[in-house]
Structure 1
Amino acid sequence: MSALLDVVLPVFVVIGAGYLVVWMGWFAQSGVDGLIRFTQNFAIPCLLFTAISQLDLAQSFNAPLLISFYVGALAGFALGTFGARVIFGRPWDQAIAIGFCCLFSNTVLLGLPITERAYGTDALSANFAIIALHSPFCYGVGITAMEIVRARETAAGGVARKVLKAIFSNALIIGIGLGFIVNISGLSLPATMQEGLDLISGAALPAALFGLGGVLVQYRPEGDLRVIAMVCAVSLVVHPAITLGLGTLFNLPAGAMRSAVLTGAMAPGVNAYIFANMYGAARRVAASAVLIGTALSILSAWVWLGMLP
């Protein structure tokens, strides 16, 4: 119970505060949009840049950690896609959008603060290793699959260009990439610049959590409840269970295991809706899965915290 009260609920109090003030009309939706743009395009990229630039790459980027997490994520994508297609009879484009919801965990807005509150800032190195590959991997899988089923006549080069454009125009990827450049080159930023980045980074997670609550007001849990239940089950149960099993098989250190499993157990991120909206497929399912999955994360995170060493 202490994990629920001390670790999980404070994160959702901030999300709930954002939801409440927007729902009550005390904070304009335009303000939420601006806050989300600030966090997604500036604050979180600064946070990721700073973290990656200072990360011990040899220690953090170990194959068993990444295999454990991303095999679970890919299995979630496959289960979501083929479940939507075979069990629920959805067209292929909708099935892939639903599979993307099972693939794209909310690694930053939920995974980071919950792991930090549970195990401290020093426990986040494995989280940052996962996050560094998360958007390229997920968008690469999702866009490639969608472009193949939507335009079978499109040349492979055309699909590749669309994938690369979507990935490398993402502010998070730019921040991560610059962090790698600084880390590998051994460059050192001037102290004044680094302190400024640290100030911006410090605002990233609280502002993003508050903004996430405001964004969720726009979503309505409606229809397709069986499909949404499948997405939530795959995201909150199957992905972390596969990650835990593989991590145990690979004998992952306790710190890496905690980060991988907790990150895998997070609800679909807002990017799941962005992806569905980008292709105009399964938008209602994606929006509802983000909202309901985020609410259910309160209990699922508590359960997984209790199971981890």
Structure 2
Amino acid sequence: MAALLSVILPVFLVVGFGYVSVWRSWLSDEHISGLMKFAQNFAIPCLLFVAIARLDLGQTFSTGLIFSFYAGSTTGFLAGLLGARFLFGRPWEDCVAIGFATLFSNSVLMGLAITERAYGADALGPNYAIVAIHAPYCYILGFVVMELVRARGAGARQAARAIGGAIIKNALMIGIALGFLVNITGIPLPDFAWDGVELMARAGLPAALFGLGGVLFRYRPEGDMATIAYVCAVSLLMHPLIVWVLGRTVELSTGEFRSAVLTAAMAPGVNAYIFANMYGVARRVVASSVLIGTGLTVISASIWLSFLP
């Protein structure tokens, strides 16, 4: 429990700074909106670029590991999307953002840290395999479904054009695409360019977490607690349970099984709010789900750890 708190409390501290800054009127809503635009349009794309550009694409990925984790996360996405629509009557655009929250678990900030605390640095190999394609898979799935929803009623050609245009113009997708381009082609970048991009990348998560705190003051979870509880249940219980069953079915190794289940059991990551904020939908639900889910992870992760080999 103490190890989990040491991972989670710094996250709450940064979020708390953002909350207090708006509560005490040290920063305005416009300041927070500007900070979130910086995070989602500049810093986070740089973070994705650096991570993918330096990814070892020759690394051996376990088919069973990838299947177990991403089948579970995709099922969580569908559960979030359809539950938001048919249980809570949310608009379809809200439903996609809520589904994204149940899709995008906090695989880096919490998943890596908790796995290392529990099993040591040598156990992180399967985590890195999951993380390697986590952001590209989740964002591409989220963008495609959101643009399909927004283009409903349009013809197939018009819908395809809308989806393609949205993906091409999106800063996060540009960061991902450029990362793969540099990785695959081996284009050399001068040291000063890497240093500048890395400076931007390091600002991404702190800026997003601080901004999330300011957003939470603006969008307090009034009247949305049932939806927030549903998101937390899918993220912390349903997703890891599916991965557990699939991991046993495909006979993952002990290390792969532990990493897959623990990563699946993490709360929604701050990227879930970035996605919701990008489209201006379900921000109250997603922001509160990130914060409340992160707090509940102290309990849920401890339970999952007690059952893991």
Contact 1:98–1:231 (CA<8 Å) still a contact in 2?
no
1:104-253 alignment runs, 5 A limit: 104-105=101-102, 107=104, 110-118=106-114, 119=116, 124=128, 126-145=130-149, 147-148=151-152, 151=153, 154-250=154-250, 251=252
Cα distance in structure 1, aligned partners of 2:133 and 2:275 = 21
Distance change in 2, residues 1:244/1:22 (3 Å): farther
Counterpart-to-counterpart distance in 1, 2:111 and 2:256? 10
Note closer, same or farther for the CA distance 1:70–1:142 as it changes in structure 2 (3 Å cut). Answer: farther
Distance 2:236 2:258 in 1: 16
Residues 43 and 99 of structure 1: is their aligned pair in 2 closer, same or farther, counting only changes over 3 Å?
closer
Between 1:229-238 and 1:14-23, the stretch displaced more is 229-238
Structure 1 residue 175, shift from structure 2 partner: 0.6
Amino acid at match of 1:38: F
1:98/1:252 Cα in 2 relative to 1: closer, same or farther (>3 Å)? farther
Q: CA deviation at 1:101?
A: 0.7
- How many angstroms apart in 1 are the aligned matches of 2:173 and 2:261? 20
Gaps of 5+ in 1: none
1:77/1:201 CA distance change after superposition, 3 Å: closer
Aligned residue for 1:25, secondary structure, equals: coil
- Residue by residue over 1:237-262, the C-alpha shift from the partner in whole angstroms, topping out at 9 and shown as x without a partner, is 21232233323433167368536742
Checking the alignment, whether the CA contact within 8 Å between 1:77 and 1:100 is kept in structure 2 is no
C-alpha distance 23-240 of structure 1, shift in aligned 2 (>3 A): farther
8 Å CA contact retained: 2:18, 2:211: yes
| Partner amino acid, structure 2, of 1:155 | G
2-side partners of 1:178 and 1:210: how far apart?
27
* SS of residue in 2 equivalent to 1:58: coil
Letter in 1 for 2:95: I
| Equivalent in 285, 295, 309 of residue 292 of structure 2 | 295
For the residues of structure 2 that align with 1:168 and 1:253, how far apart are their CA atoms? 40
Match of 2:20 in 1: 20
Range 24-33 or range 46-55, more displaced: 24-33
Amino acid at match of 2:139: S
Choose from 244, 268, 273 the match for 1:270. Answer: 273
Distance 2:227 2:278 in 1: 17
CA distance in 1, matches of 2:173, 2:279: 20
CA contact (8 A) 2:84 2:95 kept: yes
Distance in 1, Cα, partners of 2:128 & 2:141: 20
Relative distance call for 1:299 and 1:66 in structure 2 (3 A) is: same
AA of the residue aligned to 2:108: L
Query: Closer, same or farther in 2 for the Cα pair 1:191/1:99, shift >3 Å?
Result: closer
Q: Please give the alpha-carbon distance, in whole angstroms, between the structure 2 residues aligned to 1:301 and 1:72.
A: 21
Task: From the superposition, tell whether residues 199 and 60 of structure 1 become closer, same or farther in structure 2 (CA, over 3 Å).
Answer: farther
Gaps in structure 2 of 5+ consecutive residues: none
Contact kept? 1:52, 1:180, Cα under 8 Å:
yes
Q: 1:87 to 1:145 in 2, by over 3 A?
A: same
Q: CA deviation at 1:180?
A: 0.3
Return the offset for 1:81: 4.0
Aligned-pair identity (%): 36
Would the alpha carbon gap of residues 202 and 103 (structure 1) be closer, same or farther in structure 2, given more than 3 Å must change?
Answer: closer
Q: Structure 2 length normalisation: TM-score? A: 0.81
Instruction: Give the Cα separation in 2 of the matches to 1:198 and 1:79.
Output: 36
Contact 2:19-2:216 within 8 A present in 1 as well: yes
> Amino acid of the residue matched to residue 113 of structure 2?
R
